[in-house]
Amino acid sequence: MPKTRLTDRFGRTVNYVRLSVTDRCDFRCVYCMAEDMTFLPRQQVLTLEEIARVARNFVALGTEKIRLTGGEPLVRKDILELVREIGTYGLQDFAMTTNGSQLPAMADALRQAGLHRLNISLDSLDASKFRTITRTGNLSQVLDGIDAARDAGFRRIKLNVVVMKGRNDEEVPALIEFARRKQVDISFIEEMPLGQISEHDRGLALCTSDEVRALIRPHHELIPTTGDSGGPARYYRMPDSGTRVGFISPHSHNFCATCNRVRVTVEGRLLLCLGNEHSVDLRRVLRGHPVSDDKLQETIINAMDLKPERHHFSSKGDVQILRFMNMTGG
């Protein structure tokens, strides 16, 4: 594997790329989307070939980890072809974040296509709350999806929970028990102010990672792990279980100093930071004439100079970033 050629002005090495493969989704989670969403016209969206080309060129520049996300990656037509293609790039880590709804039918095929790992979002174990939070989601389908992923042989499956006060915070202990029973990891995420929503007040709903840990402590001892997760999550283990408990705390714990990642939106915008608008248009290069991988790599290398030192999310819930998470590629 070549050593990465991607470093920024602050000495950080970028070896991890998150690729959004669609802005569309079968759910409308209240923290991620407005109820009424307008999705991108097809011609603005990268083709699967273009996404593969971006991935291949990042790998040529030393990228070792790729995560496919969205929107909901499994609603993109022919997504398995892309997984199969990227699966041949010899990555150290090849993962996907999904809402799990399509996993009952697709988990096996994804594993066979070469995907290494799955993160599955699960905000509630109560069918009616689950429906309220996702607006359209069906809990039993997602639970079946988690079982299908385990049966397909995926290792280190991780559940993602966005914790909101008064919505699902009281379910934290039950979600931990569920993760222990299923022998999967679980991460609790602080809601980020991405995109304008009116469904709830993000400032009031914010449940910090400290507060989530306080909800867990009466039930389980949390022992900090020393290993580097290579990401923004801080992980803990419990004395009597293999399940790891992660906390992603953009508000209460700034993780920017060790940021090793960039994102590419489904329109081909290379985003240098989740919480800033600094970006470079890769689609223009992908659709330019003549088509040139050298030009694409040069554009990516030069873009690293734009990576900001840190994000500045405010915990009051006011929106600093107008793009929704489904556009960003969470």
Please tell me whether residue 160 binds ligand SAM under the rule CB under 6 A. yes
**Using the rule CB under 6 A, which residue among 31, 58, 130, 154 binds ligand SAM?**
31
Residue 272: name its binding partner from ligand SAM, ligand SF4, none (Cβ under 5 to 8 Å by kind). none
Please tell me whether residue 29 binds ligand SF4 under the rule CB under 6 A. yes
Please tell me whether residue 259 binds ligand SAM under the rule CB under 6 A. no
**Using the rule CB under 6 A, which residue among 18, 28, 65, 167 binds ligand SF4?**
28
Long-range Cβ pairs for the range 171-177 (8 Å, 24+): 171/124, 171/125, 171/126, 171/129, 172/212, 172/215, 172/216, 173/215, 173/216, 173/218, 173/219, 174/125, 175/122, 175/125, 176/216, 176/219, 176/220, 176/243, 176/245
Residue 207 counted as an annotated binding residue: no
3-state class percentages of the chain: helix first, strand second, coil last, to nearest 5: 35, 20, 45
Please tell me whether residue 70 binds ligand SAM under the rule CB under 6 A. yes
Please tell me whether residue 171 binds ligand SAM under the rule CB under 6 A. no
The least CB distance from residue 197 to ligand SF4, in Å, is 11
**Using the rule CB under 6 A, which residue among 16, 27, 58, 130 binds ligand SF4?**
27
The backbone region for 195, taken as left when phi is positive above 0, alpha when psi lies in -120 to 50, beta otherwise, is: left
Cα separation of 104 and 143, whole Å? Answer: 9
What letter would DSSP give residue 267? Answer: T
Which residues 6+ apart lie within 8 Å of 101 measured at CB?
Answer: 26, 27, 72, 74, 137, 138, 141, 142, 145
Residues 208-227 that bind ligand SAM (CB under 6 A): none
Alpha-carbon Rg for the chain, nearest whole angstrom, is 19
The least CB distance from residue 183 to ligand SAM, in Å, is 20
Please tell me whether residue 25 binds ligand SAM under the rule CB under 6 A. yes
Q: Which residue has the tokens 């992603």?
A: 248
Please, are residues 158 and 184 in contact by the beta-carbon 8 Å criterion?
yes
Tell me the residue type at 73: P
The least CB distance from residue 31 to ligand SAM, in Å, is 4
Joined tokens for residue 254 = 């700034």
Q: How distant is the alpha carbon of residue 322 from its chain centre?
A: 18
The least CB distance from residue 102 to ligand SAM, in Å, is 10
The least CB distance from residue 162 to ligand SAM, in Å, is 5
What x-and-dash track marks residues 69-88 binding ligand SF4 by CB under 6 A? -xxx----------------
25 vs 175, beta carbon nearer ligand SAM:
25
Please tell me whether residue 187 binds ligand SF4 under the rule CB under 6 A. no
Beta pairing partners, 95: 67, 117
57 vs 69, beta carbon nearer ligand SAM:
69
Residue 168: name its binding partner from ligand SF4, ligand SAM, none (Cβ under 5 to 8 Å by kind). none
Binding site for ligand SF4 (CB under 6 A): 25, 27-29, 32-33, 70-72, 99, 121, 325-326
